Amino acid sequence: MRFIVSPSTDVYYNLAAESHFLHHTAENLFLFWRSEKAVVCGKHQNLCAEINYAACRQLGIEAARRVSGGGTVYHDLGNLNFAFIQDLGTTLDKAVNYKRFLEPIRQALAAMGIESTYSERDDLLHKGLKFSGNAQHIFQQQKRVLHHGTLLFNAKIHHLGQALKTDGTYRDKGVKSNRSAVTNLSDHFPQLANMDQTITALTQSLIPLLMAVPSNITPQENKAIIALRNQKFHTDEWILGYSPTYEHSRSFTLENQTYHLTMVVTKGQITQFEIRNEAHQIQWQEACERVLNQPISHQTFERAFAETPLALTQHHLNFF
């Protein structure tokens, strides 16, 4: 098994690396990676229903989507992500087996003096609080599995609440996140606040447990990962467009009047959009029509509402 510590802190690069190694290699591999501030939703989630997109923009938090299911998680440099990518053998029976991959993580942490237990959903807990959430994706054609998870050591957890607090209501068939009380392990073990030292110690514990060989991403692999990052993982088509069809409604106030917005988004395209005042009169109809069949983005709303009173406010940035 190859043991790789990613040289990049770009969330899109590292998600692409996981996907590349899953789909385009035949070897077993373990990967550690970190990223700058990001929220990462599950493959089948409605991203806009899971995060506060405007707050994320203001806080410099990137929005991303991974290939596995499950709920939305927050990343920053105080969070360490791990991924197992390996063959399942000749059968897919009992392919989803979280403890198979979490047990070496738990044992490596125990060797560092960090005791942990499993939750009912196979998260890792310390003193009843979650510090590791996990998800899996099965590549059925090649009978390979990607198991990846988070390890909260010294993350800025207060950003999590701001990033995941959505406005308005969403109606869709997307998978919803299950919120859990979380903790940083450095709150219980202050020495873990130094992430470089923590990664080194955890690596030294894991390599013999996994019988792994330290390795690096090759130039050829790096080229393929960058291409996949740019062609898929950093595109609006994947991040926003993969969300299931949804209907969104919210209210906002402008010059002491309340307005009600409703829109429908299908495959990342705005298919219905309307703003009414309290008397149910349609407002800024021409601007509303200009967003139809356009991709959901801040640029779409900025262009459409440039000649309206909303151009002088922040409301046009907060329509999703």
Instruction: Please report, for the chain, the start and end positions of each structural domain, with discontinuous segments joined by +.
Output: 2-239, 246-317
The alpha carbons of the chain give a radius of gyration, in whole angstroms, of 22
pLDDT at residue 191 tops 70 = yes
The pLDDT, as a whole number, for residue 189 is: 96
**Assigned token pair, 148:** 């990846």
> Does residue 97 carry a pLDDT above 90?
no
pLDDT at 241: 85
pTM greater than 0.85 (yes/no)? yes
pLDDT higher than threshold 70 for residue 94 = no
- Protein fold of 246-317: Enolase-like; domain 1 (3.30.390)
pLDDT at 22: 96
pLDDT single digits (tens) 257-314: 899 999 999 988 999 999 999 989 999 999 999 999 999 888 899 899 988 888 866 6
Residue 311 has φ and ψ, to the nearest 5°, of -65, -20
Helix/strand number for the chain, H first, E second: 10, 16
Percent of the chain with pLDDT over 90: 62
DSSP for 201-241 reads: HHHHHHHHHHT-EEE---HHHHHHHHHHIIIIITSHHHHTT
Domain spanning 2-239, CATH architecture = 2-Layer Sandwich (3.30)
Q: How far apart are CA 210 and CA 1, in angstroms?
A: 7
